[in-house]
Amino acid sequence: MGRGAQSQSQSLARVAVVVRAGAAPLWWLGVLAAAIGVLVPGLTGRRIGVLSGAALLLVTAAVTALARRSRYAALAEGAGRAGRGDYLQDRRVTLRRWRRAHRWGLLGGFVVAVGSAFVVPAAGGMVLAGAGAGLWGKAVWLGWWERGAERLLWVSADRALGSPAGRRVGSFRATGPAAGDARPGGTRRRP
């Protein structure tokens, strides 16, 4: 391999793992914020807060799961083959990097969700939980795509910290279904 080919190598993170990275923290922070919010009577009262929160959870989950789906599909269809020099990042490393990069945003969302309970009890927490559920749904959809295409989708690890289908991401890379330590959809591969 020449020098030019080696300089093109990069660290790649699984697209589904990056999407799934925010699902669990958002879900559990949302559940905790909603539980705290139920304890506060709020301006609207608990019943209205919980009912409106349940509706917001469903809407947020659907919007999050469907957002940018066409962009993901276009990048997936145009995915080039990963190079021999590309480094496939472990699932655990991808999760840790994403969560570390977004820890203050997650904490801020939790504080806002708990604070909103003084107006509409539990609703803010349910919105957070809905976002987590939507990300999980998007990762499941990516897993279906990967199984159907029999290839796994990867993105540059440095560009994926914001969004794996954001403006900074120009293309995905693809490998065979046995590459890496995560199954289609980003779940942990059992030994």
143-191: per-residue pLDDT in tens? Answer: 999 888 888 899 888 877 778 887 888 888 888 888 778 778 777 777 6
Report pTM.
Answer: 0.86
Q: Binning pLDDT at 50, 70 and 90, where does residue 8 land?
A: low
How far apart CA 138 and CA 160 sit, in angstroms, is 16
Name the residue with higher pLDDT: 7 or 84: 84
What pLDDT band is residue 5 in, cutting at 50, 70 and 90? Answer: very low
Q: Which amino acid is at 89?
A: Q
Using CA atoms of 51, 57, 60, 63 in order, give the dihedral in degrees to the nearest 10: -100
pLDDT in tens, 77-125: 888 888 788 888 888 998 899 899 999 999 999 999 999 989 989 899 9
Residue whose C-alpha is closest to residue 87's, from 189, 188, 179: 179
Q: What is the pLDDT of residues 37-72, one digit of tens each?
A: 898 887 888 888 889 999 999 999 999 999 989 998
Q: Which residues contact 7 (CB under 8 A, 6 or more apart)?
A: none
Give 104: exposed, middle or buried? Use CB within 10 Å, 0-12, 13-18, 19+.
Answer: exposed
Whole-number pLDDT of residue 89:
86
User: What's the pLDDT score for residue 191?
Assistant: 66
Question: Is the confidence at residue 4, as pLDDT, over 60?
Answer: no
Average pLDDT over residues 121-141: 94
Q: pLDDT tens-digit profile of 24-33?
A: 999 999 999 9
